[in-house]
Amino acid sequence: MADTTHPNVRVGTSVLIFKDGKVLFGKRLHAHGDHTWAPPGGHLEFGESWEECARREAKEETGLELGALKFLTATNDIFIKENKHYITLYLRAETTGEPQLLEPEKCAGWQWFDPAHLPTPLFIPIINLLKEHPQIFNKLSV
Domains of the chain as residue ranges with CATH: 9-140 (3.90.79.10)
Q: Angle at CA 117, nearest 5°, toward 113 and 122?
A: 85
At 1, the pLDDT band (50, 70, 90 cuts) reads very low
Q: Centre a 10 Å sphere on the Cβ of residue 89 and count the other Cβ atoms it contains.
A: 22
| 84, 6 contact by CB (below 8 A) | no
State mean pLDDT over 115-125: 96
Nearest to 61 by CA among 104, 23, 122: 104
What are 8-49's pLDDT values in tens digits?
A: 999 999 999 999 999 999 999 988 899 999 999 999 999 999
For the chain, how far is it from start to end, CA to CA, in angstroms? 49
- Tell me which DSSP letter residue 29 carries: -
Helices (H), the chain: 50-62, 124-132, 136-140
**What pLDDT does 137 receive?**
81
